[in-house]
Structure 1
Amino acid sequence: MDLDDLIADQHGIVSRAQALAAGFSADKIRWLVGSGRWTRIHAHTYATVTGPLTFHAQVWAALLRAGPGAVASHRTAAYLGGLCDDPGPVIHVTVPADRYVGGKIDGVRVHYAHRLPRTRHPAATPARTRIDETVLDLVNIAPDPGDAEGWVTAACQRRLTTPKRLTGALARRKKIRWRGMVEAMLADIADGAQSPLELRHLHRVERAHGLPTGQRQRRVAGRRVIWIDVDYDEYHVRVELDGRVGHTGEGRFRDHRRDNRATVDGRATLRYGHADVYGKPCTVAAEQARVLRARGWTGTLRSCGSRCPATRPMIIKETGRPDTPIL
């Protein structure tokens, strides 16, 4: 490939080795840098354009500096692949574990991996890890379960991968942090749970308190197709879990219209947000149980632990809505 075409493909970045291979002499490279036509970005890595570097150009510079076989990975690969909207302050690259990248690279974090030939995307540029592997890389360095959960559900919500593909990639890894949790999450997502909020409701509200199993992400066709977050169809009770996305502006009015239609059809709709499900899961469980019992559920609400207030008597405010259980 002509050097000009190569530089264009690399968003204005070139390495010393590439320039030499194209016939440039060491003296010519020094002259280009000394005259300001090229700018040194990292050791033996140059920008041939002026002005601030684009993110893609920064990634190319990091990859060329890291050397043969290097790929963008972790949050950098996530941003390039559409998994997140913020690339973060550091560019992440992974290189084969059988070689070492000497010297500090400003603004770049270098990782090493034995499995890189299997995890590298076969065609994407700049070179990066496959989306399934990117998700698992991020899970492996997640500081807490919530962050790990967020990466997995974001990948599925954005339709970048599927639970089946992630499960396969997970099985190929000998060691990974949060393995048990991720395996359980993938099984739940395959059953219809779509977000951390929905997964939290499934585990901490429904299962922890012995509530009946709702049908998640149920598609209901009528004049318009609607989706129900959690549907207890036998008892004519629906639960809507409202995150920030999709429930403002027109989304908020669409939700109201859906709830009104459900009421007309004799169905009760309970609506909870993050503060409810994460902050007061036992109170949510007690409220759901009260509504489900009124509509025919004969099961037993159980305590999720020694301090669980769900099975204790509830204070009913003037609004008629159960509030905090009496402690």
Structure 2
Amino acid sequence: MTRLGEVARQQAGVVSRAQALEVGLTPGAIRAHLRAGRWSAVYQGIYRTFTGAVPRRARLWAVLLRAGPTAVLSHQTAAELSGLLAEPCDPVHVTIPLSRRVRVIPGAVLHRSARLEHARQPGPDLRRTRVEETVIDLAISARKHEVAIGWITRACGRRLTTPDRIRAAITRRPRVRWRRLLLAVVDDTADGCHSVLERRFLRDVEHDHRLPRGRRQKVPPQKSGRRRYRDVAYDDFGTVVELDGRAYHPEERRSEDRQRDNEAAAAAIRTLRYGWSDVATPCAVAVQVVRALRSGGWRGRPRRCRRVECVVRP
């Protein structure tokens, strides 16, 4: 395989004019490939060395090469590559240094950063931002804080990064939108809170109404050897709260949820299940949780929260 062929293979069949010249091709040879239809220009000075449709990876390489050797894929595109997003998302997002000037790249969004040397993920040839840097980029560009929270909880819930790494990345940035909120979310996630819905339950139901703190997520392995998971388990009071946010509990898990509910009922454990519309009225949820906990022996006293419509009775 020629040197250019090896470069093209590593870059999904895409090469730059500079790379072609560097390995020994002449300008005339490049023009000959283009005239013969063996190559075609994706962008100015960026060529695909194959015919037919342009695969996703080749398109990403074309944008990255057009943006320059110090550019990295970022935001939704980096999330796609790291597994934060299940499907490709257009347009392609790429970040370049503040000092670099690049013309508009069709089909791409250009971002600029003064800290790319810290943000780049080491290793992959298809350069991208680190997962925790990607999470923060997406969080601070979100229109709603619920969406920003969701990026953090999703990344940690899928074990793509850790709360400590996200916290460190936030503290390294001089400007972070919703800094205090995002740091609070990171702390909650470190305690096992892995979705926006779970965080709302923790803050708006448990904390605001002074309920006992439930144990999050892990349950000891069953006799079968399989590990089960609960959203919130009040072990001392025989009560479990399952939080069913469709964004985090897809349809294929419904049968697993029913199986868990049945197992809990067989073990005389009260199971309460709530979705987004329920937790949107946290005081009513708190009343039901208090009733279930008291049936299990809890003798504590809840408190009314600051909401005018709160129906919790101490």
TM over 0.5: yes
Match of 2:230 among 225, 228, 231: 228
Contact 1:138-1:148 at 8 Å conserved across structures: yes
The separation in 2 between residues aligned to 1:16 and 1:254, in whole angstroms, is: 54
How far has the Cα of 1:123 moved from its partner? 0.9
Q: Which deviations, in whole Å up to 9, do the C-alpha atoms of 1:135-191 show, x marking residues without a partner?
A: 111112111111111111111111111111211222211111121111111111111
Q: Which residue of 2 aligns with 1:315?
A: none
Q: Which residue of 2 aligns with 1:62?
A: 63
Q: Which residue of 2 aligns with 1:126?
A: 126
How far has the Cα of 1:106 moved from its partner? 0.2
Please give the secondary structure, in 1, of the residue aligned with 2:50.
Answer: coil
The separation in 2 between residues aligned to 1:257 and 1:70, in whole angstroms, is: 48
Q: Which residue of 2 aligns with 1:28?
A: 29
Q: Which residue of 2 aligns with 1:90?
A: 91
Aligned residues: 310
Kindly indicate whether residue 254 of structure 2 is the aligned counterpart of residue 252 of structure 1.
yes
Match of 2:265 among 252, 263, 267: 263
Please give the secondary structure, in 2, of the residue aligned with 1:293.
Answer: helix
Please give the secondary structure, in 2, of the residue aligned with 1:189.
Answer: helix
Gapped runs of 5+ residues in structure 1? 313-327
Please give the secondary structure, in 2, of the residue aligned with 1:76.
Answer: helix
Please give the secondary structure, in 2, of the residue aligned with 1:220.
Answer: coil
Cα distance change of structure 1 residues 12 and 257 upon mapping to structure 2, 3 Å threshold = closer
Q: Which residue of 2 aligns with 1:144?
A: 144
The separation in 2 between residues aligned to 1:76 and 1:221, in whole angstroms, is: 37
Amino acid aligned to 1:281: P
Identity %: 44
The separation in 2 between residues aligned to 1:176 and 1:161, in whole angstroms, is: 19
How far has the Cα of 1:246 moved from its partner? 5.0
Q: Which deviations, in whole Å up to 9, do the C-alpha atoms of 1:211-231 show, x marking residues without a partner?
A: 221111131333243222111
The separation in 2 between residues aligned to 1:161 and 1:275, in whole angstroms, is: 30
The separation in 2 between residues aligned to 1:46 and 1:31, in whole angstroms, is: 13
Q: Which residue of 2 aligns with 1:281?
A: 282
Gapped runs of 5+ residues in structure 2? none
The separation in 2 between residues aligned to 1:220 and 1:14, in whole angstroms, is: 52
Q: Which residue of 2 aligns with 1:211?
A: 211
Q: Which deviations, in whole Å up to 9, do the C-alpha atoms of 1:91-112 show, x marking residues without a partner?
A: 11111222211x2110111111
Please give the secondary structure, in 1, of the residue aligned with 2:15.
Answer: strand
Contact 1:229-1:239 at 8 Å conserved across structures: yes
Q: Which residue of 2 aligns with 1:316?
A: none
Contact 1:12-1:49 at 8 Å conserved across structures: yes
Cα distance change of structure 1 residues 86 and 260 upon mapping to structure 2, 3 Å threshold = closer
Q: Which deviations, in whole Å up to 9, do the C-alpha atoms of 1:236-255 show, x marking residues without a partner?
A: 21111123355645x43433
Q: Which residue of 1 aligns with 2:242?
A: 240
Cα distance change of structure 1 residues 187 and 50 upon mapping to structure 2, 3 Å threshold = same
The separation in 1 between residues aligned to 2:276 and 2:125, in whole angstroms, is: 37
- TM-score, normalised on structure 2? 0.92
Two-structure CA RMSD over aligned residues (Å) = 2.0
- TM-score, normalised on structure 1? 0.88
